[in-house]
Structure 1
Amino acid sequence: MNLTSGRPHLNNLVRIAPGALELGRPLPWNVYDADGNVLLRQGYVIQTNSQLEQLFERGRFKPRKIERPQEEIVEDNRERNPFADYPDLLQALEATLNAITNADPSAQKQLMGLTRIIERTCMESPDASLALVHLYSLGPTIHEQILFYAILCQFIARQFGLDESRISVLTAAALTANLALAPVANQLNASNKVLTPEQRGVIRKHPERSIQALRAAGIDNKLMLTIIAQHHEQADGSGYPEGLSGTGIRPEAEILALSERYVAMITKRAYRNRMNVTDARKMIATLADGKFRPAIPKALLQVLGEYPPGTLVRLDNNEVAVITRRPVRAFGPFAKAILGPGGNRYSGTFERDCSVPEFNIQALEEPEVMPSMDFSLIWNYRS
């Protein structure tokens, strides 16, 4: 699944379509020129409209091959690089949801293959996997959001203490619970108008409709369908569709619900600004009081730490750094400095142990536009 480190075959490169890239958002893949040379690496942030126009004019990218049976992913034993794999995971997710919608006989194998590769990625590269959620959370598409839900479910479930078989079912549920919302979610997120009754109906019925599509595709795991059916119920009885409460709701359903809520908190919408991680953590802490089993919000807070991987911080020496690893015993969190005290861009990467006084975290850094980063380089992956 990884992008190759060498020059791609020219026949594999296609022009970038207008609308595929956005100002202020990290590139989801490497951009090449017509000769196959890298123009910009994944993680570069386009700053101006003129840059954007030049990329549409000159830029090429390597599209993913969605026709490949996704069960083959399970046999891919290379080192996982979540950043290089990111576009492939998104395309595999889109192909899997389409297969379910079309009742394709391979839908279940595709879903289980994708579930396993996400599990393996999170196990082998936990900090980088969490970083994906935060680096691409500015304005994610519905497929990005769904991938983030699955990643967060992996970590929360393990911290909560679920066994591996239940975590696998939960991850598959996270990937498919919003199947019925996928065609309209991007439009809803981009709207700053009050939802119409029809739109509210679509939202309230999406668990049931997603379940119907899964059953039609031959996917009928009882626990998985129960998680999907219950993932908008709330412990105080105020959820939907059944108004369940307390232990009537599966813990897996609450883990999925909390994952969705956290992603919504840190994501920008047309009708509201995003929260920073400090405010989101405070909000999560309040959810232990009646909305969720208390242990589930606590598990998410433990997973994230005070400064989750992928967040930007200003250090006491006035450098700007990106958190790369969570604390280990008495050390960390660890970060890579990307901007010097005077705002100059570092050409290399410099690791900082934030438990060292000089590199203590002064504050979260919330720039209007995220600075460009070479994610694979910062997290020490071969790109």
Structure 2
Amino acid sequence: MIRTRAAETDIGIGIPLDRDVYNEKGVLLLRKGYIVQTQTQLTTLIKQGLYFLTKDTSDKSGHVAPKTDELLSFVLVDEAYAALVSLYSCTSANDLPSRILKICDFLNLAVKKDADMALGGILLQKNAKYSIIHQIHCALLCEIILKRLGHTDQERSTVIAAALTMNIGMLGLQDFLFFQHKQPSGDQRKGILNHPYRGVEILRHMGVTDQLWLDAVLQHHELLDGSGYPRGLRADDICRAARLLAIADVYGAKIFPRSYRPPLPANTAARQIFLKEREYIFDSELVDIFVKELGIYHPGCFVRLTNGEIGIITRRGGKIHLPIVHSVVGANGMPLPEPKLRVASSADFTVKELLDTQEGNFNINIYRLWQHDKRLATRET
């Protein structure tokens, strides 16, 4: 095979790739059909180094198309995002169930390969539509917890499908509210309260017959004390899938920024759910597992360390309060030439504070960040 480096003019923004794209080591980064969404994303990828492989006429064996399981976790998440955007751009799609389950397969594999990279890629994603990226985030969170609970692939896929479609009844309204600086109007509030019913109606119309999928979408805003909506269900009347989805939904919403507010720090969001909301509105058993499994520092968060460096959480760590961090900015405020592993159990590298992700206004090479993490994960610097 002949390797040719891609130029920025070879890849169009918003246009599906006409061939697979690799890094300099021949690892598949982007599959044919993948859509680069923004100029920032394209510039970052080009700086990283992208290559096309073309068949050498002297190569008698022929080119074997790379398999999905060769993709890195953050690329699988990007593919899931692009697939969900494409699906929702055609609301009359009659193959929605099969296409949603295909996206579930992408996310299942992303978590299997590297859950922390998948989660980190979500928070480091810029310019994504909130209505889409939020549902994918919730789906990843649910997949991680359900795997921890020992659920089968099929059982998990049903819940993940519900997460990916939980707001199908208000996608346009959700994106509008994301940029709105005032409280929802009366009509908007009605749309919010009605979206679980509307979502189930749309899903049934598009061929979804799985009752657990439909129940989880209908009930994902119900709360144990009866204060939720749309039906004000209590306790055992709420299916367990919807209880888990409610936790993921609230947590994900808290740590994502809006145009009118910064994100809530991940450790604050986790503590609010664990200490204030656990007993009355959420399933306490699921909250305990959620916080224990995910920790209080979400991968992809920017943090300031006690030594003054700015880093990014790349691993949740062995204990909920001791994440693995890679510093990307030195104490002098200058970007580091390569990410530096910092383990929070060392006094110099304790997390001092979480930073607004928007404060990290510099390009992050996700591939390089997590490749360093894999090489150095057992060493402390």
Q: 1:133 to 1:297 in 2, by over 3 A?
A: farther
> What is the rounded CA distance, in whole Å, between the counterparts of 1:288 and 1:331 in structure 2?
19
1:115 maps to which residue? 104
User: Quick check: 1:254 aligned with 2:243?
Assistant: yes
> What is the rounded CA distance, in whole Å, between the counterparts of 1:239 and 1:276 in structure 2?
25
Higher relative contact order (CA 8 A, sep 6+): 1
User: Quick check: 1:313 aligned with 2:303?
Assistant: yes
User: Quick check: 1:84 aligned with 2:83?
Assistant: no
Q: Secondary structure at the match of 1:350?
A: strand
Identity of counterpart residues, as a percentage? 25
Q: 1:274 to 1:315 in 2, by over 3 A?
A: closer
Q: Give 1:343 shift.
A: 1.2
TM-score by length of 1: 0.78
Q: 1:318 to 1:5 in 2, by over 3 A?
A: farther
Q: 1:248 to 1:14 in 2, by over 3 A?
A: closer
> What is the rounded CA distance, in whole Å, between the counterparts of 2:141 and 2:105 in structure 1?
15
1:153 maps to which residue? 142
Q: Give 1:149 shift.
A: 1.3
Q: Give 1:94 shift.
A: 1.7
1:144 maps to which residue? 133
The residue identity in structure 1 corresponding to 2:177 is L
1:356 maps to which residue? 346
The residue identity in structure 2 corresponding to 1:337 is S
1:38 maps to which residue? 46
Q: Secondary structure at the match of 2:273?
A: helix
Q: Secondary structure at the match of 2:336?
A: strand
> What is the rounded CA distance, in whole Å, between the counterparts of 1:169 and 1:367 in structure 2?
32
* Range moving further from structure 2, 256-265 or 295-304: 295-304
User: Do 2:92 and 2:206's aligned partners in 1 also have CA atoms closer than 8 Å?
Assistant: yes
Q: 1:284 to 1:237 in 2, by over 3 A?
A: same
1:64 maps to which residue? none
2:6 maps to which residue? 7
The residue identity in structure 1 corresponding to 2:164 is L
TM-score by length of 2: 0.78
The residue identity in structure 1 corresponding to 2:325 is A
Deviations 1:92-148 (A, max 9, x none): 01223345x2042x3222111111111111121111112123323898521111111
Superposed, 1:79-228 pairs within 5 Å as: 79-99=70-90, 101-104=91-94, 106-136=95-125, 141-228=130-217
Deviations 1:302-351 (A, max 9, x none): 23213221112222332221111122379952221111121111111221
User: Do 1:236 and 1:290's aligned partners in 2 also have CA atoms closer than 8 Å?
Assistant: yes
Q: Give 1:6 shift.
A: 4.2
User: Do 1:313 and 1:361's aligned partners in 2 also have CA atoms closer than 8 Å?
Assistant: yes
> What is the rounded CA distance, in whole Å, between the counterparts of 2:313 and 2:4 in structure 1?
25
Q: 1:76 to 1:206 in 2, by over 3 A?
A: farther
Q: 1:344 to 1:186 in 2, by over 3 A?
A: same
